[in-house]
Amino acid sequence: MKIRIVGQWNTIIKRFEKYRVYLKSSVLYLGSSVLSAAISIAINPLMAKNLSPEDYAIIGYFTSFQLLLLPLLNFNLITYYLRNYYKIPDERRTIVADTILISSLIYGIFSLVVSLFLFSIYFKISKISFDFYPFALVAFLPVLLNNFINFYLVNCRLKREASNYAKLNITNSVLLATISIVLVVYFKLGAIGKLNSVLIVSLFYSAYCFVKSLNKWQFDFSVLKDAIKFSYPLTLSALLWYFFTGYDRALLVGLNDNNTLGIYNVGLQIASILTVFYTAISQTFEPDIYKAIAENNNNKLIKLFSAIIGINAIPNILFIVFAPLVIGLLTANRYLESTIFAQIFALRNITMSFYYMAIMVVVGYGYTKQEFIIRLSATIPIIVFMKSLVNNYTFYGAAWSQVIAFLVLAILLYIYIHFKLIKQNLLQNVK
């Protein structure tokens, strides 16, 4: 009896030690992300008092193109590194990491120059009322710089260095808030001040993260070749992402109502703060998800997905209920009209989490081409659907189109995953 009790106690201790690592990581990931969000929330009333609806319209419009630029400037090379980390021998990891980092720098600079040139032509042809320069340069450059910050943070998660992740997250948020207050509140620079604050912080931290992440100036073309082969379907697929979360602003600019567009962007911005919960919890378990996929442990995957989606849904649902009060506090009662938009986008956060989880599984199993085909087949119907909703219901139609689009995409991907895994299991049984 005594031996059994001792054995059970040892089992409990082992389980506690196993989950203590996850608990500590979760606290640091979620804690730092929540604190960063809290800092953003704390200064939001100051931003709302000093940014006009037109300022919010400009910020929202130009930052919406970041979704289109992101895959163009990073080619999903970091995703290749993340997906293959556990498959790479220890002695090869530094070579692979340096190759990805150097490739991201050279390719990113070239792509940024080309992108700015093409966007300038688009602005002239479309006769956009906003000035292309300096807004485009200031809004687009951080996309390139953030690649190096993201690479550093990915390594922190893979190596279970949650404390380094938390330190960077928190100091980044503090510095961003400080510079934003100086440029927007003190110097009254409006939209350009807000965009410049992001650029300044990105310049500082990207330089730090690049130096910290680079081991040597070593390069392996075979790694780059393999990375491109893996990443190009993801990049093509990511380009289509713009039509699900950024194209709405391009359509709404055509309505020539910058005041409502600014209010729409305020609601989107506030609801987007809530994505911190999904980001923190998914990043905590991201390495475990890829590991479970590598081990073909479907039961563990289901448990991880249920936890991530459930935790993400709770704060979004609470926000929807208390949105009028929250919006009043965060905007100093200046942008109460944005409440309905914020509620719709909070619901979108939930449907988007279903889609993100499906994407992670598809990438983990290496079905990148299939994911691209599914997203491509859904893009044109969703563009038509979004245009129809905008034409008939203007800004409300644009917001609801995103909720529905992500739900449809998630369902399609889960159906594909279900039948693909069934087929895979049948083949294994035959063997």
Residue 85, pLDDT score: 86
**354, 406 in Cβ contact below 8 A?**
yes
Residue 219 — φ and ψ, nearest 5°? -145, 135
pLDDT at 429 over 70: no
Residue 10, pLDDT score: 57
Q: Is 76 helix (H, G, I), strand (E, B) or coil?
A: coil
pLDDT at 211 over 80: yes
Q: What is the pLDDT of residues 40-58, one digit of tens each?
A: 889 999 999 999 999 999 9
Lowest mean pLDDT among 24-28, 194-198, 235-239: 24-28
How far is residue 328 CA from its own chain's centroid? 26
CB atoms within 10 A of CB 377: 10
Residue 86, pLDDT score: 80
Segment 364-377 mean pLDDT? 78
Under the banding of pLDDT at 50, 70 and 90, the label for residue 19 is: low
* Residues 6+ away with beta carbon under 8 Å from 394: 252, 255, 260
Residue 423, pLDDT score: 62
* Burial status of residue 376 (CB atoms within 10 A of its CB: 0-12, 13-18, 19 or more): middle
Dist. CA 373–CA 378, nearest whole Å: 9
Q: What is the pLDDT of residues 221-234, one digit of tens each?
A: 999 999 999 888 87
Segment 89-97 mean pLDDT? 88
Residue 118, pLDDT score: 94
Residue 325, pLDDT score: 95
Q: How many residues does the chain have?
A: 431
Lowest mean pLDDT among 24-33, 70-79, 316-325: 24-33
Q: What is the pLDDT of residues 152-210, one digit of tens each?
A: 999 998 887 888 999 999 999 999 999 999 999 999 999 999 999 999 999 999 999 99
Sequence-ordered alpha helix ranges (H) in 183-274:
190-213, 221-245, 247-253, 258-273
> Which of left, alpha, beta for 13 (phi over 0: left; psi -120 to 50: alpha)?
alpha
Q: Which residue has the higher pLDDT, 62 or 85?
A: 62
Distances, alpha carbon 13 to alpha carbons 21, 81, 249, in Å: 13, 34, 53
What tokens does 337 get?
Answer: 């009209």
Residue 8, pLDDT score: 54
Residue 158, pLDDT score: 85
pLDDT at 426 over 50: no
Local structure of residue 181 (DSSP, 8 states): I
Dist. CA 264–CA 398, nearest whole Å: 10
CB atoms within 10 A of CB 338: 28
Residue 398: name the closest of 408, 388, 407 by CA: 388
Residue 427, pLDDT score: 45
**304, 292 in Cβ contact below 8 A?**
yes
pLDDT at 28 over 50: yes
Does the bond joining 134 to the residue before it have cis omega, within 30 degrees of 0?
yes
Q: What is the pLDDT of residues 102-137, one digit of tens each?
A: 999 999 999 999 999 999 998 888 888 889 989 999
Percent of the chain with pLDDT over 90: 52
* The one-letter amino acid at 24: K
pLDDT at 368 over 60: yes
Distances, alpha carbon 260 to alpha carbons 103, 249, 389, 422, in Å: 41, 11, 16, 48
pLDDT at 2 over 70: no
CB atoms within 10 A of CB 423: 10
What tokens does 49 get?
Answer: 């008092």
Residue 364 — φ and ψ, nearest 5°? -60, -40
pLDDT at 425 over 80: no
pLDDT at 244 over 80: yes
pLDDT at 13 over 70: no
Residue 238, pLDDT score: 80
Q: How many CA atoms lie within 13 A of 141 on its CB side?
A: 17
Sequence-ordered alpha helix ranges (H) in 65-134:
66-74, 77-84, 90-126
Segment 77-98 mean pLDDT? 87
Q: What is the pLDDT of residues 387-414, one digit of tens each?
A: 999 999 999 999 999 999 899 888 888 8
Residue 20, pLDDT score: 62
Q: How many CA atoms lie within 13 A of 336 on its CB side?
A: 7
**237, 67 in Cβ contact below 8 A?**
no
Residue 309 — φ and ψ, nearest 5°? -65, -40
pLDDT at 250 over 80: yes
